[in-house]
Amino acid sequence: MPERVGAAFDLAVSEAWRFAGQTAPNPAVGCVLLDAQGNVLVIAAHHKAGELHAERLAVEQARALGVVERIHTAVVTLEPCNHTGRTPPCTQALLSTPVQVVWIGCADPNPHVPGGGAAHLQANGLAVRWLAQAPNGGAQMARCRALLAPFASRMVHGRPWITVKQAVNAQGSMVPPAGHKTFTTPQSLHFAHALRRVTDGIVTGMGTVQADLPSFTVRHVPDHANRRRVLVVCGTQRNVPAHWLAQVAQHFDVLFCPDCANLPALLATTPALWVMVEAGPTVLRALREQGLWDDWLCIGQDAQGRDHFSVSTRHDISPLSLFAEWAQCTQEQACFPVL
Ligand SMILES: NC(=O)c1ccc[n+]([C@@H]2O[C@H](COP(=O)([O-])OP(=O)(O)OC[C@H]3O[C@@H](n4cnc5c(N)ncnc54)[C@H](OP(=O)(O)O)[C@@H]3O)[C@@H](O)[C@H]2O)c1
């Protein structure tokens, strides 16, 4: 793979990542257009369901900039769609340009739509190159797969990607000191809220609601505009304070889940691609026992009060790897310190 194509994949993933947490039920996708020398003409991404797909937005931006005739190579993190959904096929948008080569990160994992985007481009005379077949494309392939992982989970397993976030203090307790809702440092809080931003919903437990009356909103980083998410409260009783329910209902569609075993089916009724669990030890134990998690982030502190992040993953990739904090995360086989 030419070096400039690798760099274009990095740009495409970064651009798409900016909109993660806003595209559901569509995947986050990025597209970069290059000229024949490998210079970047346009960087685009899918912003939101109902809005233009990454490739079409990129082509429209190229037209607006007057550079459409210079398009030689398109680099896309996901195979371009070949069907008409809310928007026309992306293959059509690419074929309306002089593009000659299309580099694709991941194949479309959606078994419900007729795929064939790559085949259609090839049948129309374009050279289609798969990142997976490039001997030097491993790092970019991992990033494309990490970006797509929440959508792929939904398509393949019928449920969103589930990230458990567990904060543990230096003594190994999950319970904050009396009068506090958290014991994490500003850096951890930033990470936790950035996670809320990229996810489409939160799963909590009745015990957490009763103890903390959490708002679950994104506060320490800027959120996507007008973002409504899903909030699932696990518990058999629905005795949550009415004022709390009224407050969270301003930002969330609230669902109750009397049995965690039904969580995948319940989440499947929502558009969520990626949910984060912010619950106490009782619900975490149930999720762990039932294998209802994909990655498990433990935010801990050492005796000096410094942050320590560790992650257990059940897969060979994790969307958490797209966070800058990933570099500080210790990889664990299993890190369930208090369960
Ligand atoms: N450090 C952290 O990361 C963190 C995060 C969140 C909360 N917390 C702390 O955790 C403490 C609360 O802990 P907790 O264990 O009581 O709360 P929890 O795990 O959030 O909620 C417990 C409740 O969940 C329901 N539940 C349990 N198993 C279930 C299952 N299999 N299916 C459906 N619902 C199920 C039950 O509700 P019903 O009784 O209604 O059936 C149970 O009482 C608080 O102090 C809070 O601050 C810490």
Q: Is the domain of 141 the same as that of 163?
A: no
Q: Is the domain of 261 the same as that of 149?
A: no
Is residue 131 in some structural domain? yes
Q: Among the residues of the chain, which ranges form H helices?
A: 3-17, 54-65, 90-95, 117-123, 138-157, 186-198, 206-212, 242-248, 263-268, 281-289
Q: Is the domain of 165 the same as that of 311?
A: yes
Q: Is the domain of 223 the same as that of 271?
A: yes
Is residue 337 in some structural domain? no
Q: Is the domain of 147 the same as that of 171?
A: no
Is residue 21 in some structural domain? yes
Is residue 338 in some structural domain? no
Q: Is the domain of 81 the same as that of 210?
A: no
Q: Is the domain of 95 the same as that of 173?
A: no
Judge whether 79 counts as a catalytic residue: no
Q: Is the domain of 279 the same as that of 213?
A: yes
Indicate which residue of 15, 51, 55, 278 is catalytic.
55
Q: Is the domain of 174 the same as that of 318?
A: yes
Q: Is the domain of 204 the same as that of 73?
A: no
Pocket of ligand 1 (CB under 6 A): 166-167, 174-176, 204-208, 211-212, 234-237, 257-260, 278-283, 286
Q: Is the domain of 121 the same as that of 203?
A: no
Is residue 170 in some structural domain? yes
Instruction: Beginning with the edge strand found earlier in the chain, give each strand of the sheet holding 40-45 in spatial order.
Output: 40-45, 30-34, 73-78, 101-106, 127-130
Is residue 129 in some structural domain? yes
Q: Which atom of ligand 1 is nearest to the CA of 290?
A: 31
Q: Tell me the angle at which helices 138-157 and 3-17 cross, rounded to the nearest 10 degrees.
A: 40
Domain end position, chosen among 101, 133, 153: 153
Residues present in the chain in total: 339
Q: Among the residues of 158-280, which ranges form H helices?
A: 186-198, 206-212, 242-248, 263-268
Residue nearest to ligand 1 atom 8, measured at CA: 280
Please state the pTM of the whole predicted model.
Answer: 0.95
Contact criterion met (CB below 8 Å) for 26 and 87: no
Number of folded domains in the chain?
Answer: 2
* DSSP 8-state assignment for residue 181: S
Mark the ranges of the chain whose per-residue pLDDT is less than 70: 113-115, 333-339
Residue 83 is predicted with a pLDDT of 81
Q: Is the domain of 251 the same as that of 119?
A: no
Domain end position, chosen among 90, 125, 153: 153
Is residue 339 in some structural domain? no
User: From ligand 1's centre to the CA of 152, what distance in Å?
Assistant: 29
CATH number of the domain at 225, please.
3.40.430.10
Contact criterion met (CB below 8 Å) for 225 and 197: no
Whether the ω angle into residue 89 lies within 30 degrees of 0, i.e. cis, is: no
Q: Which residues of 68-96 are buried (b: 16+ CB within 10 A; e: fewer)?
A: bebbbbbbbbbbbbbeeeebebbbbbbbe
Is residue 91 in some structural domain? yes
Residue 331 is predicted with a pLDDT of 81
Amino acid at 322: L
The domain in which residue 135 lies consists of: 3-153
CATH number of the domain at 62, please.
3.40.140.10
Domain end position, chosen among 127, 153, 179: 153
